[in-house]
Structure 1
């Protein structure tokens, strides 16, 4: 398995070199109502780096160019998707052409996947962040009442 620091470094490089279609979708995702829809871009997840991740909804969004339909890349994508689904993530894939042609339809599909239907009210979902350093100090305990003896 590749070390966490190497995956994080690779994710930083990918964030710095996003495709035009990823930038377009990222700007649109940032416009979604905030409750329960926080997305991360080029996020390390297990042995992979996913294009977009909503941890609270366990939703992964992948943006694919034409090379993803090629033999080896397509096989890698299928294996990666199986791993993500086995870990409990739902995966949505969009072609670059879908994002360019009808971004509104793409966002609608994302909304439905996150909230169940177009008419659904947004439900707040929280995820827990892993701490990079030591955990937060514990809250001070109240002294217990002394027992008479």
Structure 2
């Protein structure tokens, strides 16, 4: 599916004007640094531009700033997510404040989504049955 020419031009412009959280995340995932997955930044799909996109996982990664908490923006995000889901693209939303304050946790969650790795255990294994 080819995006409209204005969308492609806007994506090129957005690549030059990425936000600080987007730049930080991009530096952490570019060049197959996250489990060997390849990401594209500011990737146009139909009428939309995805912050990051992994084609192998069919996953859009969106870094949401505080503006996404506004009800109008939230409704737009829901419509956009629905449109992408209908085309087989899952959406993984990350708060910009999490990228800035907990990049390690963000990358672990993203790696789980992309590579299908289970999250690390929260505690040790249970004791063996029948032993006291």
- Normalised to the residue count of structure 1, the TM-score between the two structures is 0.73
Kept in 2, the 8 Å contact 1:57–1:114? The answer is yes
Alignment of 1:78-93 (within 5 A): 78-93=78-93
Shift of 1:57: 1.1
Q: Deviations over 1:93-128 (max 9, x none)?
A: 011111111101101111100121248xxxxxxxxx
Kept in 2, the 8 Å contact 1:108–1:118? The answer is no
Q: CA RMSD in A?
A: 1.5
Aligned to 1:100: 100
Indicate the structure with greater helix content.
Answer: 2
Q: State the SS of the aligned residue for 2:56.
A: helix
**Greater Rg, structure 1 or structure 2?**
1
Shift of 1:33: 4.8
Gap regions ≥5 residues in structure 1 = 120-149
Shift of 1:68: 0.5
Confirm or deny that 1:109 pairs with 2:116.
no
Q: Deviations over 1:57-99 (max 9, x none)?
A: 1010000100101011111001000111111111100111111
Shift of 1:4: 2.1
Q: State the SS of the aligned residue for 2:88.
A: coil
Aligned to 1:45: 45
| Aligned equivalents of 1:58, 1:73: Cα separation in 2 | 23
Cα gap change, 1:34 to 1:113, in 2 (>3 Å):
closer
